[in-house]
Amino acid sequence: MSTSRGRPSWRPTDPEVAVFVSGVASMGLEILAGRIVAPQFGSSIYTWGSIIGVFLAALSLGYYQGGERASSHATQRRVNRLLLATAAYVAVLIFLGDVLLRSAAAFPLPSRFAALPAVPPAARP
C-alpha cells in the first residue's frame, strides 16, 4: 500500500468524495442562509443561533435517517437520485428565498425567535 517513494498511496472512493462535497455544500448553504436571512431579520446572535441550531438538527436527523436507510437498502442509483434531488431543492430555495422570507416574517414572534421559521426550509436537505 505504498508507492516507490515510501508514501502511502491513498485515493478517495466515490462515497468519500460524495460525503466531502456534500459537507462543503452544506457549510456553504449555511453561510448562504445567513446572507439570505440577514436583510429581513438582521445578523444578530439570535439569527445565527437559529441558523446554526436548525442546521445541526437537520444534519443529525439526516445522518440518522441515512444510516437507517443505508443499512436496509442502499444502492448507488438511490444515492445519485438523492444528491440530485438535494441539488434541485437548494436551487429552488435560492430562487424563492425572498418569497419564503416574506412569509416567515409574517409570524408574530418575539425578535429573538423571529428568524426561526425562515431557516428550516433552507436546512432541509
In a domain, 91, yes or no: yes
* Tens of pLDDT, residues 8-45: 788 888 878 888 888 888 888 888 888 888 888 888 88
Give the pLDDT confidence of 81-95 residue by residue, as tens digits.
888 888 888 888 778
Output the pLDDT for position 10.
81
Query: Residue 25 falls within a domain, yes or no?
Result: yes
- Using the predicted structure, report yes or no on whether residue 124 has a pLDDT greater than 60: no
Backbone angles phi, psi at 107, to 5 degrees: -70, 130
Which domain range does residue 109 map to?
Answer: 14-123
Total number of domains constituting the chain = 1
Q: Which residues contact 26 (CB under 8 A, 6 or more apart)?
A: 55, 59, 125
CA-wise closest residue to 97 among 47, 29, 21, 43: 29
Q: Let me know if residue 2 belongs to a domain.
A: no
Cell of 61: 436527523
- What is this structure's pTM? 0.69
Of residues 67, 103, 102, 85, the one with CA closest to residue 22: 85
